[in-house]
A and B are shown apart, each in its own frame.
Chain A
Amino acid sequence: MSAAALRSRIRRPRRRRADTDASRIPPHELLSVALQGLRTRRLRAFLSALGIAIGIGAMVAVVGVSASSQANLLALIDSLGTNLLTVAPGQTFLGANGVLPDTAVGSILHMPTVQRASAVYQISQASVLRSPYVPADETGGIGVDATDPGLLAAVSGKLAAGQFLDSSTENYPTVVLGAQAASTLQILSVSGHIQVFLGGTWFTVIGILAPVTLDSTLDSTVFIGLPVAERLFQTQPNPSEIYVRADQSQVTPTSKLLAATADPQQPDGVTVGVPVDALKARAAAKGQFTTLLLGLGAVALLVGAIGIANIMVISVLERRGEIGLRRALGATKRHITAQFLAESALLAALGGVAGLLLGALATLAYALGQNEPMIVPGYALVAAPAAGLAIGMISGLYPAAKAARLSPTEALRAT
């Protein structure tokens, strides 16, 4: 158009034409035109949608696999009971190390919302060794705790071998090993009267614990009865940690009362913990490393998007004849833009749906292999096709604008 023509168009108001004379196409017709465009080039549509499918599939699989294993971990934690609370001496208001009074366990057990409570008492002067010939300071990081027979139930622990302390064996030099402690001491079974040299006395190993999920510090500890500890090592009955099981519905109120109950005189010097919360936080944090993998999926998606843009540009060049014909039949530039945008959006949205299925399949395969529940986060069901749609729109923008700009006569001469 000449500059003069352009100027006159800008200056003078356009005349409105009757609406019946307008160029119109119902949206569903436009969509079917776009679908038809894809159907006539099936292989090409399939291949370019595949790029998007792989990118979105990778992302869905990453999210799904990490959600599945996370759900598995959370289910495991929940199965161990979310009503466990811990009470430990902290620091007093003035900064001194606190000591729990020897009445703490008894007081806690009197709380109506407490089901059970069990304590461990750290014996810092004693170490556990395979024999007297091992230097006493080579403890291998194994701690020695005195405890009562209720500990195992309180922490939902399981025995790998043998048995736990009971009301009889807690009076004698018998010991139960945590899982890590047992492997450090290289004791794998309790058969054959195995003894360890503990604080200058031979103790008989009567049990080995399986790893304790709720409190892994117990794994590198060995346990002896409190009576024998008091007798041999003059252990004071001031708990270094108390494990409390509260009524499921009363966990929070109980946790608020625990400090004052354990040490009414210095409740500030008592630390109350909810180990499950910490574990859940850790499980959630475990999902974070997937960011990197998601980034890789995003790169795949970008490549797919460029593939679609490329295919659409080629398609526009090839279809100059069709574009010219549509313009001659009364399509506006906007109709042409919309048609090509719809084609590329449809293509990528189909790729997104296919990617969702691929990713879900990959997650299912992983979950079956790991014997875990299969979980694809709900947002992925919406996000995958929506991401496809958005990518299609964006990568279709340039080709669609190019198609609309084609001169209709040039297009008609093309074929």
Chain B
Amino acid sequence: MAVLKLREVTKEYPGGVAALRGVSVEIAAGEQVAVVGPSGSGKTTMLTVLGTLELPSSGSVEVVGLDVLRASDPELAGLRAHKIGFVFQGFHLQESLTAIDNVANGMLYTGARTRERREAARAALERVGLGGRMTHRPGQLSGGERQRVAIARAIAKRPVIVLADEPTGNLDSKSGHEVIELLHELAADGATLVLITHDQGIAAGFPRRVVMSDGEIAGDERR
């Protein structure tokens, strides 16, 4: 069953720049997909459209059965709160909060109680191997550790889909490698993983690779 469906999706920005030009792709539940392509190829736009952070200019997008163009803002927000976990290149952790609070905040808009959120956060941090770093603030953690906190934040709510945008972009190759390993491991539990990268080496580790070029899909390779 497809959890992500793009059909003839275009995305134009004011000024006539077309970031996506007729993209159609389906991603099934539990798939691990790398979206590769040079910068400017439209892969980040594709991720924001998949994550319902942006609406397409035309075409249709269906995420976990929800027709994104017909959904209201609260419906899309609810979808992101419960079903989608994001991992960003720049981590986006709150400097004033400890690791566990940052992770617990990932479930802030799910309506879960504080205690439930903290329990889930603790489990997620254990899961990413940061059980001993719960009360550290981002400033006290290495880059790789920070990205693992961000990953814990994305998976704490047990999302259907994890969307990662160049998660290794700010990391050295060793911790980058570890982060990718971790993502593979976590996705093996059943979550759908879509990862954006310009690194062919990382993409090669994925069972499916969607190659983007100039706002179009130039290749869809499966191993």
Interface, chain A (partner B; CB < 8 A): 1-2, 4-5, 8-9, 12, 14-15, 17, 20-26, 29, 33, 36, 39-40, 321-322, 324-335, 407-409, 412, 415
**Interfacial chain A residues near B114, Cβ < 8 Å:** 29
Which listed residue, A21, A29, A39, A333, touches B78 by the CB 8 Å rule? Answer: A21
State which of A17, A40, A408 has its C-beta within 8 Å of the C-beta of B53: A408
Q: Which residues of B line the A interface, CB within 8 A? A: 48, 51, 53-55, 57-58, 66-67, 69-75, 77-83, 86, 88, 90, 92, 94, 96-97, 105-106, 108-111, 113-114
CB distance from B103 to the nearest CB of A (A): 11
What's the nearest-Cβ distance from chain B to residue A15, in Å?
A: 7
Are A330 and B110 within 8 A (Cβ)?
yes
User: Given A5, A22, A327, A328, which contacts B74 in the complex, CB threshold below 8 Å?
Assistant: A22
Q: A8-B69, A15-B70 are in contact. Are A327 and B53 (CB under 8 A)?
A: yes
B96 neighbours in A (Cβ, 8 Å) = 36, 39-40
A44 to chain B, nearest CB (A): 14
Q: Is the CB of A409 within 8 A of B48?
A: yes
Decide if B81 touches A17 in the complex (CB within 8 Å): no
Of A9, A23, A26, A415, which is in contact with the most chain B CB atoms at under 10 Å from its CB? A23
Q: Contact at A328–B108, with CB atoms within 8 Å?
A: no
Q: Are B108 and A4 in contact (CB under 8 A)?
A: no
CB–CB B106/A329 < 8 A: yes
Contact of B81 among A26, A39, A330 (CB under 8 A): A330
- The residue on B at minimum CB distance from A22 is B78
B90 / chain A contacts, CB cutoff of 8 Å:
321, 412, 415
Closest residue of chain B to A36 (Cβ to Cβ) is B96
B111 in contact with A26 (CB, 8 Å) = yes
The minimal Cβ–Cβ distance linking B161 to chain A, given in whole angstroms, is: 12
With A5-B55, A9-B70, A408-B53 already in contact, the answer to whether A17 and B86 are too (CB < 8 A) is no
Additional pairs, 20, CB under 8 Å, beyond known A8-B70, A24-B110, A324-B53: A14-B71, A14-B75, A17-B78, A20-B82, A21-B83, A24-B78, A25-B108, A321-B92, A325-B92, A327-B53, A327-B77, A328-B80, A330-B77, A330-B78, A332-B74, A332-B77, A332-B109, A333-B73, A412-B88, A412-B90
- A33–B108 contact, CB under 8 A? yes
**Are A22 and B70 closer than 8 Å at their CB atoms?**
no
Instruction: Give chain A's interface secondary structure class.
Output: helix
Q: Which residues of A contact B53 (CB under 8 A)?
A: 324, 327-328, 407-409, 412
A17 is contacted by which of B48, B66, B73, B111 (Cβ under 8 Å)?
A: B66
CB<8 Å pairs between A and B, sample of 19: A2-B57, A17-B78, A20-B82, A23-B74, A24-B78, A36-B96, A321-B90, A324-B53, A324-B92, A325-B92, A326-B109, A328-B53, A329-B106, A330-B109, A331-B108, A332-B74, A334-B74, A408-B48, A412-B88
A-side contacts of B72, CB under 8 Å:
14
Given A321-B92, A329-B105: A22 touches B111 (CB 8 Å cut-off): yes
Nearest CB in chain A to that of B97: its residue: A36
- Please measure, in the bound complex, the distance between the C-alpha atom of A17 and the C-alpha atom of B71, giving whole angstroms: 10
Given contacts A333-B73, A415-B90, contact A328 B51 (CB under 8 A): yes
A30 to B, closest residue via Cβ: B108
Instruction: Indicate which residue in A4, A9, A39 contacts B58 across the interface (CB closer than 8 Å).
Output: A4
Q: How distant is the Cα of A335 from the Cα of B78 in the complex, in angstroms?
A: 12
- Docked complex Cα distance between A2 and B50 (Å): 17
* Contact, CB under 8 Å: B108 / A412: no
Check A329–B109 contact: CB distance below 8 A: yes
Q: Which residues of A contact B55 (CB under 8 A)?
A: 1, 5
Determine which residue in B77, B92, B105 has the highest number of CB atoms from chain A within 10 A of its CB, and name it: B77
Shortest Cβ distance from A413 into chain B, in angstroms? 9
Indicate which residue in A1, A26, A331, A415 contacts B77 across the interface (CB closer than 8 Å).
A331
Quick check: A322 and B94 within 8 Å, CB to CB? Answer: yes
Q: Say which residue of A17, A26, A39, A412 sits within 8 Å of B92 (CB atoms).
A: A412
Q: Indicate which residue in B73, B83, B105, B110 contacts A332 across the interface (CB closer than 8 Å).
A: B73
Docked CA distance A322–B94 (Å): 8
Contact A23 to B109, CB < 8 A, known contacts A4-B58, A36-B96, A332-B74:
yes
B79, A21: Cβ atoms closer than 8 Å: yes
Shortest CB distance A332–B (Å): 4
Q: How far is the CA of A184 from the CA of B143 in the complex (A)?
A: 91
Give Cα distance in the complex from A332 to B70, angstroms.
Answer: 16
Q: How far is the CA of A5 from the CA of B59 in the complex (A)?
A: 9
The answer on a CB contact under 8 Å between B108 and A329 is: yes
Quick one: given A21-B78, A328-B51, A329-B80, are A5 and B108 in contact (CB under 8 Å)? no
Closest beta carbon of chain B to A35's beta carbon, Å: 12
Expressed in whole angstroms, the Cα–Cα distance for A348 and B55 within the complex equals 37
The 10 closest A-B pairs by CB, nearest first: A330-B81, A24-B111, A330-B109, A23-B77, A332-B77, A23-B78, A330-B80, A23-B81, A22-B78, A408-B53
Which residue of chain A lies nearest to B96 when distances are taken between CB atoms in the complex?
Answer: A40
A33 to B104, CA, bound (A): 13
Task: Name the B residues within 8 Å of A15 (CB-CB).
Answer: 67, 70-71
Minimum CB–CB distance for B50 against chain A, Å = 12
Give the chain A neighbours of B79 by CB distance below 8 A. 21, 330
Assembled-state Cα–Cα distance A39/B101 (Å): 15
The answer for the CA separation of A186 and B97 in the assembled complex, in Å, is: 80
Q: How far is the CB of B163 from chain A (nearest CB, A)?
A: 9
Q: How distant is the Cα of A24 from the Cα of B69 in the complex, in angstroms?
A: 21
Q: Name the B residues within 8 Å of A2 (CB-CB).
A: 57-58
Q: Which residues of A contact B97 (CB under 8 A)?
A: 36
Q: Is there an interface contact between A29 and B69, defined as CB atoms closer than 8 Å?
A: no
Distance, CA A24 to CA B55, complexed state (A): 22
Task: Please name the residue on chain B nearest to A408 by beta carbon.
Answer: B53
Chain A residues with Cβ under 8 A from B69's Cβ? 1, 5, 8-9
